[in-house]
Amino acid sequence: MKLKIAIGWTVMLLLASCSGQAVTGLPEGAAKGGGKVQTETGKQAAADEVPNFKNASVHDPSVIKVDDTYYVFGSHLAAAKTTDFMNWTEIASGVHDGNPLIPNVTTELAETLEWAQSNTLWAPDVIQLPDGRFYMYYNACKGDSPLSAMGVAVADQVGGPYKNLGIMLKSGMWGQPSEDGTVYDATVHPNVVDPHVFFDKEEKLWMVYGSYSGGIYILQMDPETGFPYPDQGYGKKLLGANHSRIEGPYMLYSPDTDYYYLFLSYGGLDATGGYNIRVVRSKTPDGPFVDAEGHDMTRVGGPAGTFFDDEAIAPYGVKLMGNVEFGSAEGDALAAGTAYVSPGHNSAYYDEATGRYFLIFHTRFPNLGERHEVRVHQMFMNEQGWPVVAPHRYSGETIGSYNAAELAGDYKFVRHGKDITAEVKESSLIRLDDNGKVTGSEEGTWRLTGGHELELALSGSVYRGVFLRQWDGGTLQHVMVFTALSGAGEAVWGSRITAKE
């Protein structure tokens, strides 16, 4: 039975434009760029290891690697660290004096909190600039309006303490001059939250930001000061308008494809909001960005006079993942596998040493309300140069070379679609026959086009992606999986049914 939950309008108004609450952890169990291909012997040995996980709760996790450790910083001044993307240690949480990131935060950021009429902070970003210091781009938002302020603080160590350098942008000044000199209009001007600061391939510094309101914007930044170059106003608009539910921008450059990928979250962040992760791409960091069908994203946004018009934006952008649940099947081992509600507000990381791509996001879970945790999934570039996301959380797996005989079998199959919905997309059953046919809830054909590349033809659409062997946290076994995208930018996942050993 599929879970169907109506979107609470009041809750959406309160949460619009900003990010969610911090909640402590849940018990465990609730192509190109795919890394170096191992030999069959090495792959099998690694795959036989049972992974361990330690979870953390950081909303809107933004990643930075320092030495051999990954740190994520999120809303409500929360942070966690890991060396393997599997075992997390929480190091900070809560906007209160004594938080190690900003020990005197209530006075240090008093101007920001006062402007935003807020007692908390939203999704930050941390980057190391050429002077060797770490710059935290913080922001606060009222929550039911785009009354927000964004600034930067600096520290000698990534874990703080951070010292405020000042506010750089404000929004929500109704009827008053805005950052570009015109009267502030929330249907066209951005909400100054959700920053991501990054270097492009030419070592130029940029900041992409925005949530709902007038859309997602990008600014050129001064790497010597950490502030925007002057006389840019709010910068250049990339997409969105009229309070479209698009937020959480994050940029990733791929040296494999020479594209800049702009990740976005559509929908509402709460458990009934239908949050989902999308991506668009461009050859330049300031656009124009397009989706898999070539739509110019600068034109994407709600029509004039609309508010939270999801139908207007749902067809655009490559939807990588949304609400999903791999259910139990006859003969299956133990229990259900991956099950997420409103996954989103991701960051992403490319590991130059291994060629691996990672998607780092927060997610809620079926029937567990607003509790959330960080999850990390490996990504791969398909033949069309679009990222596809592995169905199960990262457990140290490395993609290998496979043969068709070992891939044939019964799979739990999920279509993510393109909609923005609170409905959880439950798995159905398909079979990849050894004669290249697909039978079961879907009919079509499949074939292995390389060592691990998949071409899947279903209902007149061709999906391209990869096969991979992963740890299934529900069945507690390593299973074959596949992940692929259609030419329309719709993702499908498969997880093989394996009898209990």
Query: Strands 453-458 and 444-448: what pairing?
Result: antiparallel
Q: Please say if 351 is a catalytic residue.
A: no
Furthest CA-CA distance within the chain = 68
Residues 6+ apart with CB under 8 A from 190: 146, 171, 209, 210, 211, 213, 214, 215, 216, 217, 234, 237
Q: Please say if 60 is a catalytic residue.
A: yes
Residue showing tokens 């979870």: 55
CA distance 350 to 356: 6
- Which one of 60, 194, 270, 325 is the catalytic residue? 60
Quote the pLDDT of residue 337: 73
Query: Strands 324-325 and 425-426: what pairing?
Result: parallel
Under DSSP, is residue 192 helix (H, G, I), strand (E, B) or coil? coil
Dig out the tokens for 77 from the structure: 């001044």
Dig out the tokens for 300 from the structure: 């994407």
In eight-state DSSP terms, residue 24 is P
Quote the pLDDT of residue 364: 98
CA distances (Å), origin 31, targets 187, 256, 389: 41, 10, 12
Quote the pLDDT of residue 328: 80
CA distance 269 to 253: 26
Quote the pLDDT of residue 451: 96
Quote the pLDDT of residue 397: 97
CA distance 51 to 28: 12
Say if residues 251 and 262 touch (Cβ distance below 8 Å): yes
- pLDDT means per 10 residues, the chain with 501 residues, are 28 38 36 41 55 98 98 98 98 98 98 98 98 98 96 98 98 95 97 98 98 98 98 98 98 98 98 98 98 98 96 98 89 73 98 98 96 98 98 97 96 97 96 97 97 97 98 91 98 88 48
Residues 6+ apart with CB under 8 A from 414: 324, 326, 391, 425, 426, 427, 428, 492, 493, 494
Dig out the tokens for 493 from the structure: 């996942």
- For 298, phi then psi, to 5°, come to -65, -20
Say if residues 337 and 392 touch (Cβ distance below 8 Å): yes
Comparing CA positions, the residue from 321, 358, 316, 356 lying closest to residue 342 is 321
- Which one of 125, 179, 247, 291 is the catalytic residue? 247
Say if residues 482 and 466 touch (Cβ distance below 8 Å): yes
CA distances (Å), origin 443, targets 430, 433, 460, 486: 8, 11, 10, 16
Residue showing tokens 């996790």: 61
